[in-house]
Structure 1
Amino acid sequence: MLRSLGRERRERRERRERRGRRRAAAVDAEASPPRAGRTTSWCRCTSLLAASGASGGSSCPDAPDRVWFPAGRIFERMHRREPHPPRSVFGEQRCHPRRPAYCRTHYRGGFPMRKVTYSMSTSLDGYIVGPDGTFDWTTPDAEVFRFWIDDIRNVGVHLLGRRLYEAMLYWETADQETALDEADAEWTALWNPLPKVVFSTTLSAVQGNARLASGGLGEEIERLRAEPGEGDIAIGGATLAAEASALGLIDEYQVMVCPVLVGGGIPFFPRTERLVTLELVETRTFKSGIVYLRHRVVR
């Protein structure tokens, strides 16, 4: 009796093992790579089922109609989809490849966030001010000045350091002291009413449509991005831009490269040991030999 009971249990166990091997063979056959000549390719997804064993759906839109898997376990599912070239991220195959994203595509409340730009004139060797403190070689001609006039129309607020703010104070009273030509008058009409935020630890008051920053650079930019408004958030000044770059806040670098070498001074780009991938989105060459380059930061 005990021997027959043991034999029966052994036979049931062998039958269960045979069924398990057949089932595993069927799953392996279904999950095997496509043979030569097939037009379909394979995509790998990994999902975690609920502990209750409910066979819920997958986040992948290419999921097949029926997939067998053991309930309540982490499982690896192979299924077919349209052919695509192999892609990998850190050695792991993904169903949907990761694409580059830009700050411009970040949304808050359903609207695109305002991008942060850093734009200045530089020498060919990358300096905005020479070793002697001068930058008269950046004085624009009529064609370049017209470009800056058109460009400032796209700015909603300008962030400045103390030195750049003091250099631009000339325009606050330029129309009162001298007779301006048409281009200067147009620039003054655009620049003076433009909201400005000045970052300084020595100034106690500012003039015109400007205010002193009430917080750090990162806090101010987040506040400005959260406020309703149009136009870019422009940054002027190498020191301020270096801090914004270190925080990863700059979305676009806009460089007006002048055909001159100065050999030293204040660099346009911050000297940080950090890789920043850029995408060239616009370039323009002027008759004077100045070249405008606009690069977008790839996120």
Structure 2
Amino acid sequence: MRKIIAGINMTLDGFCDHTAVIPDDEIHQHYGDMLRNAGVALYGRTTYQLMEYWKGVVENPTGNKQTDDFAVAMDRIPKIVFSHTLTNVDWETARVAERDLEEEVQSLRKQPGKDILVGSRSLIIALINLGLIDEFQVMVHPVIAGGGLSLFENINDRTALKLVNTKTFGFGAVTLYYELAKK
């Protein structure tokens, strides 16, 4: 059975705001590897629309190897978008989900293939509440944003986690790898 992996950036004070962090080559390499090792990525509408930026980078590379490699990885991975307002998407490797989140994820989980990456805050929260996240990869950036969207708000129940690994980046970010703690 495929694992559901929640992967997201967060500031030191717990906010998810892509404008508060500045990814460098090392971060692009890390997330490019993450995408290449996953079988599908799940996004909500807002995050998906932010990710569409990378289509342009594939068409017009920056000349920076890590950035351009990340763009190619993002372009290639199959993407499923969960939205109440989008009815179609124009990225060849993306589609709008036809079922609700729980049904779609349960179906994907049973299929053979690489793990399922969840990269949207709203989907991570919803999947935590459904008990469907197997692993968390939270990159904590050395930035205090002072406000924004909290990663772990509106969680229904206490969820105990076990730290299984860490990865430290040159500019001070740390990725914390957690699995669900045994009950």
State if a TM-score over 0.5 links the two structures: yes
Q: 13, 36, 39: which one pairs with 1:125? A: 13
Out of 108, 111, 124, the residue aligned to residue 227 of structure 1 is 111
- Equivalence for 1:171: 54
CA shift digits 1:145-176 (9 cap, x unpaired): 22222222211100000010000101113232
Q: What is the aligned counterpart of 1:153 among 29, 36, 48?
A: 36
Matched residues in 2 for 1:154 and 1:178: separation?
22
CA distances 1:72-130 after superposition (whole Å, capped 9, x unpaired): xxxxxxxxxxxxxxxxxxxxxxxxxxxxxxxxxxxxxxxxx11101111101111002x
The C-alpha deviation readout for 1:210-264, integer Å capped at 9, x for no partner, is 11111111100111112222x2111121111111110000011111101111222
Alignment of 1:232-247 (within 5 A): 232-247=115-130
Displacement, 1:197? 0.5
Give structure 1 stretches of 5+ with no counterpart.
1-112, 130-134
- Counterpart for residue 56 of structure 1: none
Aligned residue type for 1:240: L
Do the aligned partners of 2:5 and 2:115 also contact (CA within 8 Å) in 1? yes
**1:184 and 1:141, CA in 2 relative to 1: closer, same or farther beyond 3 A?**
closer
C-alpha separation between the residues in 2 aligned to 1:157 and 1:175? 19
Within the candidate set 261, 274, 280, 2:144 is matched to 261
Deviation per CA, 1:163-191: give whole Å up to 9, x if none.
Answer: 10000101113232354322222222222
* 2:4 matched residue in structure 1: 116
- Residue 289 of structure 1 aligns with an amino acid whose one-letter code is G
The alignment of Structure 1 onto Structure 2 pairs a total of residues equal to 181
Structure 1 letter corresponding to 2:53: Y
C-alpha contact 2:28 2:67 (8 A) present in aligned 1: no
SS class of match (2:112): coil
Counterpart in 1 of 2:98? 214
In our comparison, the structure showing a higher alpha carbon Rg is: 1
* Percent identity of equivalent pairs: 38
Counterparts of 1:273 and 1:176, CA distance in 2: 42
Task: Give the root-mean-square deviation of aligned CA atoms.
Answer: 1.5
Question: SS of the counterpart of 1:167?
Answer: helix
User: What is the TM-score when the length of structure 2 is the normalising length?
Assistant: 0.92
Larger relative contact order (Cα-Cα within 8 Å, sequence gap ≥ 6): 2
Letter in 2 for 1:256: M
Q: Which runs of 5+ in 2 are unaligned?
A: none
